[in-house]
Each structure stands twice: as structure tokens, then as C-alpha cells.
Structure 1
């Protein structure tokens, strides 16, 4: 456990630069550049750098029960979890570490973007889906999109639907980078996108090569635009 002797309440954002430098040095060898970083102590967040992500945290905000920071502060051990998103907030993978801020217990939480995986960990090459009483292995490159509906997960290839026991959030962490979340209920293989257009309300729609139209929520619209450069 790391201990910082400086007063955590100094500085405009709730911590001195010296304390922040110690924390970032501790995890800087592996943390991706695009990851967000939060530090909590005394039941609230004393620092947050969101790196431009739409995460509803800020210095001074209370630590919510059940959050990674709350679990680290309570259990005093390394904690990791996948954080469910919503139509407004994308999902994130978070890892928390116990620290000491001044004289009180603290937590450093790293929030990793969707699709992040440890260096050297290869994505899966196929998914095995069920059709009636058969199990069919399908190469992920042939999958157009994946859907969560009625508490089940389905993936689609060549117009065929296959069920899987894995959830969207589980699949998002192991699939290749070509799979993007575009909605709380959909992952799409960008290699299988035929066109992107607007619907009558101005929201984006994705049409896949097998003719399916999938809605794009506002949360993921900017990322999709960035991927395709429009």
C-alpha cells in the first residue's frame, strides 16, 4: 500500500501535485494513455481526470455505495469490475488500488475504455453459438453484429442467428477492435457495416452487409463518427 504524507486537501482540485505524481507514477508503467483516473478519500473523490470521457465523476462528488472506490475503501484490497453503461454513459472496466492519502485510507481507480485488454492478450477468434440442439463455431470475422434482447445474447452471421451464454459486456472485452459498441443493446463489426445514415429524428442508423438496421445511441455516435471520419 502506498502512503502519501502531504495534506490531500491542498490544491485547487483537492490534492497537491506531489501526491498525484506519486499515484500516477505507481500505475504509470501500464495504464493506457486514454484511461481516466480517480482518487478517493474521506468518502468523496478528491481528484478526477476523465480524459474527455463521459464519466459522471468530479472532485468533491461522494463515493457511491457499491462502486469500485467504495469497495477498495471498505475492503482495503485491489478490486476490479466491469461497470455497466447506459444510453448516456458508456461501459468501463475499472481497477482500484488501496492507498493512504495523508492519514486516512484512500483509493486510486483506473477506468479503462471499452475493448481494453492487457498487452499480449489475444482477442477470441470464434464464438460458439447455439441453434436448436446444435452448437456452431463461427469465426468472429464473419459475425456482423451482436444483440442483447429479452435477457439473452444473440450474434448474427450470414443472416443466421445464434444464441450464446456470454453477455455483451463480457464479449466487448474479448472481441477484436473491429467490434464497436453502438448502443446499450448492440455491438457491431465495423467490417460488416455497409452504410451509415440518419433516421427521421436525426439519429444515426447503421446498416450491415446482411441488411440489418441498427440504432446508434448518442453515447456512441461521436466514437462511430471518429472511426469512419465523418
Structure 2
């Protein structure tokens, strides 16, 4: 039996949020996140990520956010073309399954020149998907992280990093210039001189994020 079938057999908790707070919560007999209507949306939760990216998100989370690990499926809600919030279904993790743990500190550890190097989030310039691993470019070093870009995305601080392309995540504080690009896309020039494309999917989100 696949994971989706295992989750579907158990009644999920239901969470509804506007763009800032939880407005409705119905716990399940199988999993309870102890959310109260009126609580602010937790950063890096599945609900927060769906709202931030304005797309469906289906991912596990470990117990650090709500005290219990869970798998969440969140869908943004829109009215008249305007995003209004999100609805999230919360399932217990299947037996033997473990949520991917985020880094234990504010850094990424990469393999570079036959050694491991911890890189502070502040120094990271961008991350690039490469062969199911992630290339990390920082101020004074570059190297490979063993996790995929999608796996790392959930553990990166949302106030600092933004996905701009299916292959790239950037540190928004390392952006030096933003240029218009053909077909309603953008081109970023990073502080180290790297030039990175912003896809049509992510260009509106970056504009909203940076206010231009």
C-alpha cells in the first residue's frame, strides 16, 4: 500500500487559515496539533508554505512546530482571483516514516574539497538543484549538500530565502540588482556577480515579496 493510501485511511485534522491566522480547526482522533482559532500561522508550516508560494503543498513536518510530526496537504483559497487563505489536511505519519529534520542550527553544511564546511545562512548566496543534490554558493565557499533542493526548502528561514525557479532558491538579502527579462520573467544579479533567471511561475511571487 502506498503512503497516500495509508494517510487516506485515517481521518485528518482540518485547518483553515486566512493570510495571517488560523480561523478554523477540527482535530482528528488520530492527530491533534492543538491549534486554536486566532493563533498566528506558524512559519515553515505546510499552511505557511502554501500561502507563501501560492500553490498546493504536500509535505511532512517534524515535531518541532506543533509537538507532533505530521504530513500536511495544503491548498490556497482564492476569491475573484485574490488569495484569501488556505485549507490544510493534517495526517499522522505512516508507521516507520520520519519527517525530514531541518538543520540543527542556522547554517548549511556542504562537502567541498574533501572536507565538510558549515555555512551560516547569512553567507549563502543561492542554492541550485543538481542531480538530486544541492549546490550551495556562499560568499567565500561553495559545495554540495546531500539533500535535494525541495527537501532543503522547507528548512530554510522564510524571511531570508525565496524560490525563483524550479532549480534555484536565493538569499533575498544577497540580491544586488533585478532586471526585466523576456516573456514576463526577471533576471537577478547577485552580490557575487552570479546571474540567475526568475521563471514566470515565481516572478509574481518575488515582485510581491520585494514590493515592486
| Same fold? TM cut 0.5 | yes
Q: Which moved more, 1:161-170 or 1:138-147?
A: 161-170
Q: Distance in 2 between matches of 1:169 and 1:155?
A: 14
Q: Distance in 2 between matches of 1:144 and 1:175?
A: 13
Which residue does 1:198 correspond to in 2? 180
Which residue does 1:149 correspond to in 2? 130
Match of 1:170 among 129, 151, 154: 151
Q: Distance in 1 between matches of 2:103 and 2:142?
A: 25
Q: Distance in 2 between matches of 1:136 and 1:197?
A: 33
5+ residue gaps, structure 2: 1-9, 12-22, 28-34, 60-68, 75-87, 93-101
Q: Distance in 2 between matches of 1:213 and 1:51?
A: 24
Equivalent position SS for 2:202: helix
Which residue does 1:161 correspond to in 2? 142
Equivalent position SS for 2:25: helix
Displacement of 1:192 in angstroms is 0.2
Aligned pair count reads: 147
Deviations 1:74-125 (A, max 9, x none): xxxx961689xxxxxxxxxx75349xxxxxxxxxxxxxxxxxxxxxx99841
Deviations 1:129-165 (A, max 9, x none): 1112111111110000000023331100126321010
5+ residue gaps, structure 1: 3-22, 37-49, 57-66, 69-77, 84-93, 99-120
Match of 1:189 among 157, 171, 192: 171
Which residue does 1:136 correspond to in 2? 117
Displacement of 1:215 in angstroms is 1.1
Give the 5 Å matches for 1:205-216: 205-216=187-198
In the alignment, structure 1 residue 26 sits paired with structure 2 residue 26: yes
Displacement of 1:211 in angstroms is 0.7
In the alignment, structure 1 residue 126 sits paired with structure 2 residue 107: yes
Q: Distance in 2 between matches of 1:227 and 1:182?
A: 11
Q: Distance in 2 between matches of 1:175 and 1:181?
A: 11
Does structure 1 conserve the Cα–Cα contact (< 8 Å) formed by 2:186 and 2:203?
Answer: yes
Which residue does 2:90 correspond to in 1? 96
Which residue does 1:80 correspond to in 2? 71
Displacement of 1:195 in angstroms is 0.9
Q: Distance in 1 between matches of 2:110 and 2:53?
A: 37
Does structure 1 conserve the Cα–Cα contact (< 8 Å) formed by 2:129 and 2:149?
Answer: yes
Which residue does 2:209 correspond to in 1? 227
RMSD of Structure 2 on Structure 1 (CA)? 3.9
Does structure 1 conserve the Cα–Cα contact (< 8 Å) formed by 2:132 and 2:148?
Answer: no
Q: Distance in 2 between matches of 1:196 and 1:133?
A: 35
> Normalising to structure 2: TM-score of the pair?
0.56
Does structure 2 conserve the Cα–Cα contact (< 8 Å) formed by 1:142 and 1:157?
Answer: yes
Displacement of 1:220 in angstroms is 1.3
Displacement of 1:202 in angstroms is 3.7
